[in-house]
Amino acid sequence: MRAEEGQKRRLMKQAFEARRRFRARHRTYRGETSPLKHVGVPEGLYEKCKRCRERFVKDDILENKMVCPSCDSHFRLRAIDRLNMTVDEGTFIEKGLGYISLNPLFQEDYEQKLAENRERTGADEAFIYGYGEIKGIPCVLGVLDSHFMMGSMGSVVGEKVVKSVEYALVRRLPLVLFIASGGARMQEGIYSLMQMAKTAGAIQKLNQQDLLYISILTHPTTGGVSASFASLGDIILAEPEALIGFAGPRVIKQTIKQELPEGFQSAEFLLEKGMLDKIVHRHAMKDTLYRLLYLHEKGARL
Measured CA to CA, the distance from residue 287 to residue 282 in angstroms comes to: 10
User: Which residue, 12 or 52, is less far from Zn ion as judged by CB?
Assistant: 52
Q: List the beta bridge partners of residue 130.
A: 94, 141
> Using an 8 Å Cβ cutoff, are 174 and 202 in contact?
no
**Interaction of residue 70 with Zn ion, rule CB under 5 A:** yes
Residues 6+ apart with CB under 8 A from 166: 202
Q: What is the size of the binding site for Zn ion (CB under 5 A)?
A: 7
68 or 280: CB nearest Zn ion: 68
Q: Which stretch binds Zn ion (CB under 5 A): 19-27, 70-78, 129-137, 249-257?
A: 70-78
Whether the link from the prior residue into 220 is cis, omega within 30° of 0, is yes
Closer residue to Zn ion in complex, CB, 64/73: 73
Is 71 a residue that touches Zn ion (CB under 5 A)? yes
Which of 14, 35, 49, 293 lies at the binding interface for Zn ion (CB under 5 A)?
49
Rounded alpha-carbon distances, angstroms, from residue 246 to 182, 231, 269: 9, 11, 14
Select the span of 46-54, 154-162, 169-177, 279-287 touching Zn ion (CB under 5 A).
46-54
Query: Does an H or E element contain 157, and which?
Result: helix 155-171
Region from 28-36, 62-70, 190-198, 277-285 binding Zn ion, contact rule CB under 5 A = 62-70
Q: Residue 51 or residue 135: which is nearer to Zn ion going by CB?
A: 51
Where is 128: in which H helix or E strand? Answer: strand 127-134
Nearest distance in Å: CB 94, Zn ion: 32
Give the span between the Cα atoms of 166 and 209, in whole angstroms: 11
CB of 66 to Zn ion, least distance (A): 11
List the one residue out of 170, 117, 169, 167 whose CA is nearest residue 142.
167
Binding residue (CB under 5 A) for Zn ion from 52, 57, 105, 260: 52
- Is the CB of 70 or the CB of 204 nearer to Zn ion? 70
**Residue count (the chain):** 302
Q: How far is the CB of 72 from Zn ion (least distance, A)?
A: 7
Least separation in angstroms between residue 43's CB and Zn ion is 21
Instruction: Assess 24 for contact with Zn ion (CB under 5 A).
Output: no
C-alpha–C-alpha distance, residues 113 and 119, integer Å: 10
Q: Report the residue number, 57 or 260, with the smaller CB distance to Zn ion.
A: 57
Burial 272-288 (b: 16+ CB within 10 A, else e): eeeebbebbebeebbeb
Q: Which is nearer to Zn ion, 166 or 241 (CB)?
A: 241
Radius of gyration for the chain, computed over Cα atoms and rounded to the nearest angstrom: 19
DSSP 8-state assignment for residue 228: T
Residue with smaller CB distance to Zn ion, 47 or 234: 47
Using CB under 5 A as the binding rule, whether residue 68 contacts Zn ion is answered as yes
46 is a contact residue toward Zn ion (CB under 5 A): no
The least CB distance from residue 52 to Zn ion, in Å, is 3
Using CB under 5 A, list all residues that contact Zn ion. 49, 51-52, 68, 70-71, 73
